[in-house]
Every structure is written in structure tokens, then in C-alpha cells.
Chain A
Amino acid sequence: MATTRAERLLAPADLQDPATFSQGIPQEAFAEMRARPTLSWTPPSGGDRTGFWSVTRHAPVSEVSRDADLYSSAVGHIQIYDIDEDALSARASMIDLDPPVHTRLRRLVSSAFTPRHVQSYETAVRARIAERLDALMQAGGGNWVEAVAAPIPIGVICDIMGVPESDHDYMIELTDHLVAGTSSKPLEAGAYGNTTDLRLLPFNSPAAHGINEYARALGERRRAEPADDLITKLIEAEVDGERLTDAEFTNFFRLMVFAGNETTRASMAHLALHLVEFADQFERLRSDPSLLDQAVEEVIRYSSPILYFRRTLTRDTVLQDTPLRAGDKVVMWYAAANFDEEVFDEPLRFDVTRPLRPPNVAFGGGGAHFCLGAPLARLELAILIEAILSRGIDLRLAGDPVHVDSNFVNGIEHLEVEVR
């Protein structure tokens, strides 16, 4: 029996409005949606022709994630709002492609991010973290995001890609503007010398143009003088006997610096809040260091840096007792599934002793697109937590956190702290 439009349960909050996320995850609205027998519906708004279904429970997030055939990343956009066909293909990187094309691209870089391989980055990551923490301690405090959460992940991913240290600040600036594209703040179309139609650029942001230009220039340098980095690998790579096109190359680079950066930064920013609010849990960890992996996973679950990704139905199906049609938009709210009371006992409790199984879905629910950088992000967080505890850093908040204005990233823009 198909539900009629009138019978559909409407989402109890405006999930397209960044303001809904201005204090973080809208826990009450998500709890209400999880408790429903079916998915929740949001009717079309703005320029969109179709509305979308929201998935908020853990099990259907995994189900959708693991069936790329039925729930496509390439048909339609992976954000809620629609974009034109030409815009879709202009910005396509592996994250908005389906297997087998997706998988051929992913395999160009996947060996650099296996758990075994990321261990080789440990010394460099440790040094970066030590430098940032020591500077913050000397200063007695500051903006935790600017001092710690932002520079560490960008530094690490830039090292792996082959972006020189002197350009790291520029990369932070560009990627910050990229996320600003998901917010309600207006953007200057001509920024960074952009001449491309904004609707063709990822996040409709001129900063995407800046990143593309940067990638092109660095690629040229590596073509002339190869180095042991991923830029060189991408410039020299062949897929089915052919080199990457200019767009494939720049889109790849942009995905890597964005994905490797904004997300890990968000969890590192939230970590500061956790350290203050759940100090007893970190005391517990201090007395039992074997809980480190669980603590890392709990920080990731609790911060859920990516709020959602969208898929588009390729055929009719039924999901959580909800009949869906080909072409329907399905939005997986990772930040809701990570607090599913069926899976996580007392989900709002921050608990470093939570079992690792079943896993949270902050990195996705599994399947083809499961976060490439999960082992790297875990390594960075583990080292950061360890370094904070071993220095005996006593963190105090010196102001309220300012959240990133977005319905896509659960980020923190500014967090003033004191360190003792």
C-alpha cells in the first residue's frame, strides 16, 4: 500500500536552513524523526522541483550506503539542492560518481590511506601536533580552531598531497570559503579571479576556482619535476590507459584537500568542548590508556562532522516501510543515526567505554564511498588526545563556540580557550 502525499510524515524542522544547525545537531527533531515508523518527508522549496526523504536511523543509513546501484551518487547531486546536468559533470570527483568509474579513480590514491600505510605518517603528525599545542600553551590560550583544529589536518593532508608548507594558510583560506558556499552568507562571484559561472562550481563557490587554479599550477611544477607525493601520482596516473583530464585532476585535488581538512577540523574543534564538558571521561582515559581507540570513536560519533550526504533512487523501492520512487532524493543524516537509541545506549551520554561494534556512521554507513581518510583521521585524533593528556593540558572555555553556518558540516568556526 503506497502512502499518499497527505499521509507522509513531514520533517519537524527546516533541514535546509543552516539556522536549524546553529547550535549544533538538532537532537530533538532527529529523535522525533527516528521514533517514526517511516522516513520523514520535506516538500520542495526554493528552486528545487522535488522534495526529499530523510533517513535518521542507523540500519537504513547502512542499507542505503551499501547499495550504490540503487542509491546513486552520480544521478543528481549529493547535496540536497538540485543543480543542472552540466554543473554536475563539471564538478564530478569520485565522491559524486558511481562504481565502476568511482572505484577506478579511488584506486589511484587508496594505497596511501590504508591503516598500514598511515602509520608511516605518525612521526610527522606527532611533530605538527606538538608544535601547535606547545605554542598554544605558551600563549596561555587563544582561538582553539585557528591554533589547533584548523592547521593540523590541513598540514597533514597538504604534506601527503605535496602542497608546500608556505601555501598551507592559503589552502585553509580557500577551503573555508568553500564551506561558506553551503551557508547563507552571500559570496563575491569574482573572488580569486573567478570567471566561471558560479553554478558550475562546487558549493557554488568562487573559492573552488581558486583551488582548481592552484592545483593546475602545482601539477605543472610536478610534471616538470616529479616528487614522492600524491600530486605527482595524479599527474602521472592513467585510468584505462588514459591520463586524467584537467577537470578530473583539479576535482580530485579539491576533493582531497576539502575532505581531508574540514571534517577532521570539526572533530578536533568539538574535542575541546568534550574535554571541558566530559572531563571525567578523559580522566578515565588517563587512568586506562587502552581506551584510546574507543575515545577517538566517541569523539567522532559525538561530533558527527558531516551532517548528511544525499543519494538519488535509480529504481522504485521500499525503505523503512516507506515506498520510494526512482528519482527520489534520499538524505542520510549521519548526525541523527549516530544517536540512534536502538544502537547506542543512552546516546547523549559521552562514554569512552562504548563498544566499538556496531560502528558509528560518521565516516559513512559502509560501501563504495566509505571515507577514504578514516584511518588517517583516527590517527590524527588519537595523537592529539594523547598529546593533550600527556601535557596535562587543563582547558577552560573563554567564550561560547561559534558554529559554522551550514546544514552540511557540523563545524565550529571560533572557540576561545584558556590553557593552564
Chain B
Amino acid sequence: MSGTELVRVAVDAERCIGGGQCEMLEPEVFLVDDDEAISSVVGSGALPRPRADVVVHRCPGAAVSIVEPQRPSE
């Protein structure tokens, strides 16, 4: 089922403008720091593809991307 395919997301800190949408959508995966409001990925950054797509599209700074399909764990 393609709906459950896991992908890995990444944040380009240079492009991040602190819009904070990623953290609102996926608080387990993104953390926007309290100082300069730069987002980063916490943990493995794995998300089901449809949810990752929503974050990618909603990022106003176009700073979130899908880097690779997540390998199924051994």
C-alpha cells in the first residue's frame, strides 16, 4: 500500500523562515527552536509519504524536502 510508505524528511536551515507550519502539523518530527525559530528534524524524520507531502507543500519557505524513501527496518 503506497499510503503507508515511509519517507525521510529534511529541513534546509538556510531557507527556513520560521513559519512553524511543520511543527504544527508534525510535532513529533519537527522542532522549531525558541531562539531563532529555525526548524530541525528530531529523531529519524520518518513520515508516511502523504503526510510528508502535506508538510512539504505547506512550508512557506520551501525549506522542507523528502530526501529518500525510508528503508524498511531489519
- Determine the distance from Cα of A310 to Cα of B64 in the docked complex, in whole angstroms: 26
- Determine the distance from Cα of A115 to Cα of B25 in the docked complex, in whole angstroms: 11
- Determine the distance from Cα of A115 to Cα of B59 in the docked complex, in whole angstroms: 12
Q: Is A114 an interface residue (CB 8 A)?
A: yes
Proximity string of chain B (26-56) to chain A, C-beta cutoff 8 Å, 1 when within and 0 when not: 0000001111111000000000000000000
**The stretch of A23-31, A34-42, A368-376 that contacts the partner chain:** A368-376
Instruction: Kindly report which residue of chain B lies nearest to residue A118, judged by CB atoms.
Output: B20
Q: Is A317 an interface residue (CB 8 A)?
A: no
User: Are B57 and A357 closer than 8 Å at their CB atoms?
Assistant: yes
A115-B24, A116-B23, A116-B32 known; A110-B60 Cβ under 8 A? no
**Quick one: which of A373-394 are within 8 Å of B by CB?**
374-375
A103-B17, A110-B36 known; A367-B24 Cβ under 8 A? no
- Determine the distance from Cα of A359 to Cα of B57 in the docked complex, in whole angstroms: 9
Instruction: Kindly report which residue of chain B lies nearest to residue A106, judged by CB atoms.
Output: B17
User: Are A366 and B18 closer than 8 Å at their CB atoms?
Assistant: no
- Determine the distance from Cα of A41 to Cα of B35 in the docked complex, in whole angstroms: 44
User: Are A107 and B23 closer than 8 Å at their CB atoms?
Assistant: no
User: Are B19 and A374 closer than 8 Å at their CB atoms?
Assistant: yes
Interface size range on B against A = 20 to 34
Proximity string of chain A (82-125) to chain B, C-beta cutoff 8 Å, 1 when within and 0 when not: 00000000000000000110010011001101111100000000
User: Are B34 and A111 closer than 8 Å at their CB atoms?
Assistant: yes
User: Are B21 and A110 closer than 8 Å at their CB atoms?
Assistant: no
User: Are B34 and A110 closer than 8 Å at their CB atoms?
Assistant: no
Q: Is A274 an interface residue (CB 8 A)?
A: no
- Determine the distance from Cα of A32 to Cα of B19 in the docked complex, in whole angstroms: 34
- Determine the distance from Cα of A74 to Cα of B47 in the docked complex, in whole angstroms: 38
- Determine the distance from Cα of A370 to Cα of B24 in the docked complex, in whole angstroms: 17
User: Are B18 and A110 closer than 8 Å at their CB atoms?
Assistant: yes
User: Are A106 and B18 closer than 8 Å at their CB atoms?
Assistant: yes
User: Are A111 and B35 closer than 8 Å at their CB atoms?
Assistant: yes
Contacts of A128 in B (CB 8 A): none
Contacts of B33 in A (CB 8 A): 111
User: Are A116 and B61 closer than 8 Å at their CB atoms?
Assistant: no
Contacts of B23 in A (CB 8 A): 114-116
User: Are A368 and B24 closer than 8 Å at their CB atoms?
Assistant: no
- Determine the distance from Cα of A106 to Cα of B38 in the docked complex, in whole angstroms: 11
Cβ 8 A contact of B62, one of A111, A366, A375: A366
Q: Is A66 an interface residue (CB 8 A)?
A: yes
Cβ 8 A contact of B61, one of A115, A357, A366: A366
A114-B32, A357-B57, A375-B20 known; A107-B62 Cβ under 8 A? no
A107-B37, A111-B34 known; A370-B60 Cβ under 8 A? yes
Proximity string of chain A (347-367) to chain B, C-beta cutoff 8 Å, 1 when within and 0 when not: 000000000011100011011
Chain B nearest CB: distance from A105 CB in Å?
A: 11
- Determine the distance from Cα of A107 to Cα of B16 in the docked complex, in whole angstroms: 10
A107-B37, A110-B37 known; A367-B20 Cβ under 8 A? no
- Determine the distance from Cα of A375 to Cα of B20 in the docked complex, in whole angstroms: 9
User: Are B18 and A368 closer than 8 Å at their CB atoms?
Assistant: no
Q: Which residues of B contact A (CB under 8 A)?
A: 14-15, 17-21, 23-24, 32-38, 57-62
9 A–B contacts, CB within 8 A, in A order:
A106-B18, A110-B36, A111-B37, A113-B37, A116-B20, A367-B61, A368-B15, A370-B60, A374-B60
Q: Which residues of A contact B (CB under 8 A)?
A: 66, 99-100, 103, 106-107, 110-111, 113-117, 357-359, 363-364, 366-368, 370, 372, 374-375
**7 more A-B contacts (CB under 8 A) besides A111-B37, A367-B61?**
A103-B17, A114-B18, A114-B19, A116-B32, A357-B58, A363-B60, A366-B60
